[in-house]
Chains A and B, each alone.
Chain A
Amino acid sequence: MSKAPFSEIVMGNTALVRAMVEAGTRVVASYPGSPTPEIAEAIRSIPIAQRPFYFEFSTNEKVATEVAYGAALNGHLSTVFFKSVGLNVASDTFVQLSLMNITGGMVIVLGDDPGANSSQNEQDNRHYAHLSYTPMLEPASPGEVYDFYKKSVGLSREKNMPVILRLTTHVCHAKQRVAFDGWEPVELDPTPRFDAARGPYIPITAEVLPMKRRALERLTAVSDFAKRSDLNRIVDNGNRKKGVITMGLPFLSLMDVLKSAAEKPDILKLGVVHPIPKESIKHFLQIHQEVKILEELDDPIEKEIKAIAFDEDIKVKIIGKMDLEDWIGEYTPDKVYEIIHKTWPGLLPEKSAKVRKPPVPERPAQMCPGCGHRSAFHAIKKALTGTDITVADIGCHTLGFLPPYQTGELLMCMGASTGIGAGLSLFNGARKVVAFLGDSTFFHAGLPGIINAVFNRHKLTLIIMENGTTAMTGHQDHAASGKNFNEPTDKIPIRQVLTGLGIQNIYETDTYQQTELTRLVKQALSDDGFSVVIARHPCMLKFTREQRKKPAFKPRRVDIDQQKCNQIHICVEKFACPTFVRKSDGKVEINPDLCIGDGSCLQTCPSAAIKQPEIVGDKVQ
């Protein structure tokens, strides 16, 4: 790791890690979730012996927040990062942080997801900043991610308060050349400096109100910091009629869109989105006739700015959200074009008429070739009747909801399936309820629902889709993997946990044993009470990647015996491995680019037309 200044092409997530190093961050924790897992990949690229801070993937976002908080009370600058909805999990701990005197400093990095690219909603986490009296900074680009993290640290340490750095998907993943400063390593002070006298750290009635007062006082003082640190800035286009107040990636969209504008409005770009800089905004409102608030997702800033105009009696036309569409989706340049066009017709040139576009079949995300979940859904479907209710959970196995499996008819959030399934089973003697759960999610938030099912004697079946990893977010280890981020660790076997909870009916098989899995699920469904089926098979994407790295690796694939094939298409239509290709004449072939030769498809063909996997030749030169 360079101690001298340098520049490199990096994504926002990587720029963040360099900022952590330079800032002297000591403890970092997380739970994987898009758009943030690449932060951990950048951390992993620093060999552990040279890594100047401790990092862990915790069991969930709440625990990660607690670990970072605890470390900060010993005087270690800490950071926790996770995706947008991760903050919901962490919130019970998170909302208390501003009450505390966080002596080492603590930054909460959020990966919000406008457009719901890889999340179950596009929640606007700026509301949490308001709810918890926590300042929030919002960078627009990788360069700003790097700069704003260091400024967040400065603020957090100056005031011993938590600070949120809010990233969004395409800020996390944007790539550009960033100029980094030098790094002066600071020797670790291992003294555990926790001191209860620097608290109080116990929020009970008598203490809560003064603690809240202190939180509010600190928040008020943030505006001085924002002024000093140049986080909010003006793009002065000399326009005293029109102005725009915006922030984050929408600012960059706006800059691009305005290149073709007849006149360019002035722009106030906010770097601190909570608390907003009242004086700067007041001045900006006073010197313009019309001000557009260009704010992605919800409208907290619009409301605050309108309140400022009202309180200060400023005569200005403030144009916020104009219709419901303005609340929905990412503010891409296309979206910002539409919004500006709607706000000030005539400012932007009309777009030319579009040519006719032929349809392209959708390409939804799929389970990979050889995925154990595919075998599982194919087998489980045979054990279910059409009226059974199947409850999905978060993970690769969520994809079972797609045709042709259509298993998993409702989805909420991490670990919710067992609880929802329990509710669906009440007053319900007619329709069996089957809930699904991944193994990483089992530890993350799945356990309380399972314990509840035991405790309250709910009648449903839970199928644990165990693939040995946190697959969807890039194969992070979990508590049953036998490895943590840094070293080997004791495995917590899921089956033993279930046995320890006193669950009587536990079944387990490899999902490639499709007939056996069908039988076990039927058995579990006929059990009285709560039953669990562990449907396990290692993640084949992970397995195949590992195999390919071995020198002796020989690619294998199956083939179709065209003599035997009766074109009944179970392989392509029901089992639906993406490897199978349907030709226009009905003939079935193998896509050699996709088949991994796992052979899990052989058992699905009643004509036995799928041939045993064979080695296809030496590894390519």
Chain B
Amino acid sequence: MKRETDYGHPIKSVYAPSDIEGFNYGKDLGDPGSYPYTRGYHPNGYRGRMWTQRMTAGLGTSSEANKVLKQYREMGQKGGMCVISDRTFSMPIDSDHPLGRKEAGVLGWPGSSLLEFEELMDGIPLTGQSVTLLGSCAPTSLRLAYIVALAEKRGVDVKQVHGSVMESPFENYFGQTDGQPFDLNLKLFLDASEYAIRNKIRMRSAIITQHFQESGGNNAQALAVEMAMLKEICGLLVNERGLDFDDVAPLPYELVTVGTRFFEEIAKMRALRRMWAKLAKETFKAKKDKSCHLLIAVHTSGRTMTYQQPLNNIARCAIQTLAGAIGGCTSIDNACLDNAYAEPSPLAARMSLNTQHIVAEETGVTDVVDPLAGSYFVEYLTNKVEEEAYKIWNKIEDLGGMIVAIQKGYIQDMLREAAQEKHREVENGDRLIVGVNDLVIPPEEDFEIPLQEVQASDSENIARRMEEWKKTRNMSLIKESLTQLYSDAKKEDKYNLMPSIIEAVKDYATAGEIMGVIRQARGLSYDTLKMIDCPFKFE
């Protein structure tokens, strides 16, 4: 069995002061609440603000997802909601698209119109909790438009709504894709981010390595990729969109995947805070202390949730949740015991939320900030993962930054190799996973867990509803707003499309229509999948 970090650095049997020679408390760590924030952003840690305990929801119809959100609130989901998009809205296409109708409601919420968002949020407040809508980059501007439109309908000041609805275009290269070209995704992402910043809407952008790690990337690579993405995006917002860095800094958040290698995961989170603080201060010359704080959300790792003996995943989730809590985070959402099979069943969701409650209430972990500081091993690991990450990040910068590194295939090759390596390690028995390559039992002896399923008929029903509803809309209003959008989308890339997207969304133009019109204006096919034609004519 390998005794190495997940990025291949050998681990000794014991660590001593000599392993952190030159350690300087003030320079390397600082007190919690002071630069370089290795120990966290708040002097009194979770005593001042508990992490947001949330579970991902979304499967089947919008009304079904709404019921789940309400159940989660009853289960003690505090502070925030998190909804993931289905296969159609992730692209985005409409659920009545010829291919969309086959998989509407699969893996998430079929949010391809404002109507779906209204149904999702029925009876759920927009304020007083963070609203997070996840899925992929492409629908970023639509999700922000939904927030603006629904706030307006409800008479809520949109500045009072907080959460995250934007997602960076890089994730398309981290093991899953939304099918949209990079330049289009980047443009729409920058539009939405700029619009939120200029209008003081407290919606954050996910610039995250979750998918990268869930696809097999290691901890040092994840840190490097995260920093390279942050530098690229913040740089574009400052230099191309003319924003002040101190206004840009509150925009990004990182969703860190926390696996079972306990100490390494904690070290990664500590190193990330230190690396961002340095980037903010030294490269972007941040004037505000707060600009050196990168919001870190934790996702306990889905890839570690095994298909075999799924009850074992409860134990893994508990270890990971504890690591996330000790690492210092703003929120945690858990991959559940049934993660290898489906979206969380009510049982799995309750188990996961309770895991968070147990860690929060019963272990004492919330009493003390950064309790592992000063541990020779943890400080060594924090330094080491940072050092290895800087090496990779420097390579990315030498290539010309994150966008060029993607264009050259460098990131994709790195990730593919890392995924192969992880696979080899398990096949060779270099890393043991209980129930997978260790203590294996025959499948027929495995415990059956309840599973949520979406049937083909469920997808078809979602599609039919959209088909029928589309006929009831005021088409002249829609035509008008889409014509405006079409003409705006033909303007230069820096011309912000958010205002015209918001108008189209308010008129109940669908995600497929809005994305289609933007695509067409840019010389692409109306339909990403080239199966349907544009139903509108523009001059």
Do chains A and B stick together as partners? no
**Chain B residues near A (Cβ < 8 Å):** none
